[in-house]
Structure 1
Amino acid sequence: MRAVTAFMMLAFTRPTMVGAIWPSSCYLAQAMARGADGAQQIIELGAGTGAITEALYERHPRVPTTVVELQPEWAGRLRQRFPGMTVLQAPAHEVLEAWCGGDEPVVLVSSLPFRSLPARWRDGTSRAIERFLWAHPQRRLIQYTYQPRAPFDLQLGRGLVWRRRAVVWRNVPPAWVWELGWA
C-alpha cells in the first residue's frame, strides 16, 4: 500500500511525469512481461512502483535486467526490492545514449507516459529509443498507452513500425500494449 500512496502523491504533484491515475495492474504487467519473451537482455524504462519490474523478474528470472527510474525515492525502493537487478536513477534517454551493452538483442520495456510528457522529454526520449532500436535489427520496444493509437510518433523514420500486441481491459484505465521494431 505504501507504493500506491507514493504513486498517488507523485501523480498529483507531477501528473505529466506519471501519466496514469493508478499503478499498473498485474494483468498489464504480465502482458508487458510476455512482450519481452526471447530477450537476451531487458532494459525497463520508467519502472515507477515496480509492478512491471516484478512481472519481468518472475517471467524472466535469468535475463539480465537494467531498471531505469527517474524519481529518486522510487529508484531506491526498486533497489531494495530487486537486489539482483541493476537500477539506474537517471533519465531514460541518457541511459540509452550511453548504453554499452554490446551487440546483443535487447528488449526495452517502457512505462514512460509519452502522451503526457513535456515535449522536450517526449521528443528527446523517443528519438533516443529509435536510435537505440535502429542500432540492432533484433532490438524492440514494448510500450503501453491508454489510447488506441501508437504511443508516440516516429521521428527518424528508419524502417521501424508499431504493432499492437494486446488490449488489457482489466487495468485502470484499459491499456493498449504496443511493440516497436523493424518492419
Structure 2
Amino acid sequence: MWGKDYDKNLVQPWRNFMPVELLIAMLRDPASTGALLPSSRALARAMANAATGADLIVELGAGTGAVTRALLHAQPHVPLIAVELQPPLAQRLKACCPTADVRQAAAKEVVDALIDAQGKVVLISSLPFRSLPRRVASETATCLCRFLERNPARKLVQFTYQPRAPFGAPPGLQWQRTSVVWRNTPPAGIWELQAVS
C-alpha cells in the first residue's frame, strides 16, 4: 500500500497530538505548564544545536521530552540534566530518556545548586516566563542571570512565542534572537542570553 518513501508523519499523526501527561499537567497547573502542544521536531533540533560546544547541558522545563531527546541525539557525549517540576512529566522523562539525569524540581533550585559548576554550561529553557506567576518568573529570571554572570562562557537558550526577549536582562548581559522556527505551532523565536563581550 505504501511506497518506500512514504511520510511517517502522515501514517502516524497521533505522534503530534498532546500526550496524556501534558494534558494532566496543564489541567493541574496551567501557568507552570505553558505549552498547548509539545515542541516540534524542528524547534527541538534548533534548541539542541544551540548547545553545541557545551561541557554540561541543563534543560529547564523539559516537559514531554521533545527537546530532551533532541539534545541526547545531537550531544550524546555531553552530560544532560533535565529539570521538570510536574511529577507526571518528570516520570515520563525518566522512562523515555534513561541516560538523562532527570530532576523533579524547580528550575531555580537546580540552577542555584550548580552555581559553581566548571566549564561551559548551557541552559536550554522551555520555561513559560510569560505565563508563570509574576513572583516565580522574576525569581527564576534573577537566578538565571546570576548564574550567567558567574562565568562569561555560560549561556541561556530560551524559546518564546512572543516577538520580544523572554525577560529583561541586567547590565552586562544581552539577549540576541538567533532564529525563528516557523515549523512549530505557534512559530517560536530562539533567543540567547549571555555576557556582553
Corresponding residue number in structure 2 for 1:17:
32
For 2:184, the aligned partner's letter is N
Letter in 2 for 1:169: W
Alignment match, 1:77:
92
Q: Compute the displacement of 1:101 (Å).
A: 5.8
What's 2:69 paired with?
Answer: 54
Q: Residue 67 of structure 2 aligns to which amino acid in structure 1?
A: I
CA contact (8 A) 2:25 2:88 kept: no
Aligned to 2:133: 118
Q: TM-score, normalization: structure 1? A: 0.94
User: What runs of 5+ residues in structure 1 fail to find an aligned partner?
Assistant: none
- 1:134 and 1:158 in contact (8 A); partners too: no
What is the Cα-based RMSD across aligned positions, in Å? Answer: 1.5
**Partners of 2:74 and 2:152 in 1: how far apart?**
24
Larger radius of gyration: 2
Q: CA deviation at 1:105?
A: 0.9
Answer whether contact 1:8 1:22 (CA < 8 A) is retained.
no
Residue 88 of structure 2 aligns with an amino acid whose one-letter code is E
Counterpart position of 2:19: 4
Alignment correspondent of 1:94: 109
Shift of the alpha carbon at 1:3?
A: 6.2
Out of 35, 41, 59, which is 2:56 matched to? 41
Q: Which has the higher contact order (CA 8 A, sep 6+)?
A: 1
Mapped partners of 2:139, 2:178: distance in 1:
25
- The alpha carbon displacement at 1:31 in A equals 0.7
1:27 aligns with 2:29: no
Number of residue pairs matched by the alignment: 181
1:173 matched residue in structure 2: 186
Task: Find the residue that maps to 2:89 and give its secondary structure.
Answer: helix
Q: Answer yes or no: is the 8 Å Cα contact 1:43–1:67 preserved in 2.
A: yes
Matched with 2:120 is 105
Identity of paired residues, percent?
A: 49
Q: CA deviation at 1:48?
A: 0.3
The aligned counterpart of 1:130 is 145
Match of 1:163 in 2: 176
How many Å separate the matches in 2 of 1:41 and 1:126?
20
